[in-house]
């Protein structure tokens, strides 16, 4: 009997693509089916085309013979697992006592901990340095193995988290304040009263100074190697008024200082220029502020300026301040300022006009005003 001559190259390529899409147990069973269909010479031919050994194809044939017609099972016996439990080499640290001993010594030398909490420990090692330290002790491991050993020891790459509170905060009182602000927003939205989130973004220095991020450009752009304030040509104070219901915003780019008068004037400019036509029958507005800064909750000057602002706009203003240390919960932070930060990534903000032109392309930004002192 002659050996099977083989399929055409197009069909063989199709077999390889389909085989690569299958898990390994289905792959060898598919190879077994093809070999069974071909007959004599099928095992060698299919193994060569699919790039597997003849033993794998024979394993697939054995599994097909053991199939139960009513309830076929995977080799592991579980529908969500391919291989049988216990397959593969055991971890090196379980079989190599010397490696475990050397690893413990290296971690002990290069680790430190908190004097008050035994569970808080850190190390100056990384996978590369750990592999080098083990190599100096006669044990060769890869960077991936070193990373796995660090993970098993509880050491992972972590960033510092700003969680410690510098003041005294009552969690229950803060939660009650959040619930109260949420109730005010629902009540205002039900009555058709505009709800504005108001805040000043981080001040930006104008000039050839470095900014994080990248942008597309035809040539490289050069900035100073240090971001000293005396190198700046001025300062930009971005102030925003965000409509929480309509998802629209107005930005004022100040070039002087952030004061309570500046904040109130920016609110008045936003209302008269753009928001008043959207709410022609409004006689009241809800303003959401942070607790500190020029619009601090305990600032008497800010309260006086708000009273003057209410009289100027002929609008009853209701003010709600977020609790201390929760400024990032103010809606304008994550709904508008995050978009602005993306627009300014990798750009040289040397003039207010350049900052203005990029802001005009920001989603949800209704309009903006530049060079407001």
CA 67 to the chain's CA centroid: 47
Distance CA 94, CA 367 (A): 65
For residue 69, what pLDDT is reported? Answer: 62
User: What pLDDT is stored for residue 71 in this prediction?
Assistant: 65
**pLDDT tens by residue, 332-373:** 998 888 888 888 888 888 888 888 888 877 765 544 444 433
Specify the pLDDT at position 371: 41
pLDDT of res. 1 = 52
User: What span, in angstroms and rounded, lies between the C-alpha atoms of 37 and 63?
Assistant: 16
* Mean pLDDT, rounded, for 228-245: 90
pLDDT at 194 over 70: yes
Would you say residue 262 has pLDDT above 60?
yes
Yes or no: say if 196 and 244 are a contact pair by the CB < 8 Å rule: yes
Q: Highest mean pLDDT range out of 24-38, 68-82, 84-98, 107-121?
A: 24-38
Q: In whole angstroms, how far apart are CA 249 and each of 244, 261, 267, 334, 340?
A: 9, 20, 11, 13, 11
- Tell me what pLDDT residue 118 has: 76
Share of the chain above pLDDT 70, in %: 93
Provide, for the chain, the percentages of residues in helix, strand and coil under a 3-state DSSP scheme, each rounded to the nearest 5: 45, 15, 40
Q: How many CB atoms lie within 10 A of CB 197?
A: 24
Confidence of residue 3 (pLDDT cuts 50, 70, 90): low
* pLDDT average, residue stretch 39-59: 91
pLDDT for 17 equals 92
pLDDT band (50, 70, 90) for residue 78: confident
Distance of alpha carbon 279 from alpha carbon 144, whole angstroms: 61
pLDDT band at residue 288 using 50, 70 and 90 as cut-offs: very high
The pLDDT of 58-72, averaged and rounded, is 78
C-alpha gyration radius of the chain: 34
Q: Which residues neighbour 288 within 8 Å (Cβ) at sequence distance 6 or greater?
A: 181, 185, 195, 196, 197, 198, 244, 320, 321, 322, 330, 331
Highest mean pLDDT among 291-305, 307-321, 331-345: 307-321
């Amino acid at each position: 009997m002659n050996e099977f001559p083989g399929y055409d190259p197009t069909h063989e390529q199709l077999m390889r693509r389909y085989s690569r899409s299958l898990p390994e147990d289905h792959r060898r069973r598919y190879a077994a089916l093809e070999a069974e269909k071909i007959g004599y010479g099928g095992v060698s031919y299919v193994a060569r085309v699919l790039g597997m050994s003849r033993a794998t194809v024979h394993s697939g044939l054995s599994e097909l013979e053991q199939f139960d017609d009513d309830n076929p099972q995977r080799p592991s016996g579980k529908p969500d697992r391919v291989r049988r439990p216990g397959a593969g080499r055991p971890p090196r640290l379980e079989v190599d006592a010397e490696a475990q001993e050397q690893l413990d010594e290296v971690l002990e030398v290069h680790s430190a901990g908190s004097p008050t909490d035994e569970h808080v420990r850190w190390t100056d090692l990384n996978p590369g340095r750990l592999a080098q330290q083990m190599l100096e002790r006669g044990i060769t491991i890869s960077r991936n193995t070193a990373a796995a050993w660090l993970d098993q020891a509880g050491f992972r790459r972590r960033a510092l988290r700003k969680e410690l509170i510098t003041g005294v905060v009552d969690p229950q009182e803060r939660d009650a304040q959040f619930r109260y602000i949420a109730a005010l927003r629902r009540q205002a939205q039900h009555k058709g009263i505009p709800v504005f989130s108001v805040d000043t973004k981080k001040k930006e220095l104008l000039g050839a100074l470095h900014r994080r991020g990248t942008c597309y450009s035809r040539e490289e752009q050069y900035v100073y190697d240090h971001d000293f304030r005396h190198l700046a040509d001025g300062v930009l104070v971005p102030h925003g008024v965000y409509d929480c219901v309509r998802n629209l915003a107005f930005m004022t780019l100040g070039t002087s200082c952030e004061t309570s008068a500046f904040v109130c004037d920016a609110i008045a400019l936003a209302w008269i220029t753009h928001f008043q036509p959207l709410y022609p029958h409004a006689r009241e507005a809800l303003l959401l502020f942070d607790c500190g800064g020029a619009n601090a909750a305990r600032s008497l000057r800010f309260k006086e300026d708000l009273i003057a602002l209410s009289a100027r706009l002929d609008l009853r203003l209701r003010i709600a301040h977020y609790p201390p240390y929760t400024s990032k919960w103010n809606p304008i932070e994550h709904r508008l300022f995050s978009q602005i930060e993306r627009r300014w990534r990798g750009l040289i903000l040397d003039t207010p006009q350049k900052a203005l032109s990029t802001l005009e392309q920001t989603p949800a930004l209704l309009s903006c005003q530049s060079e407001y002192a």
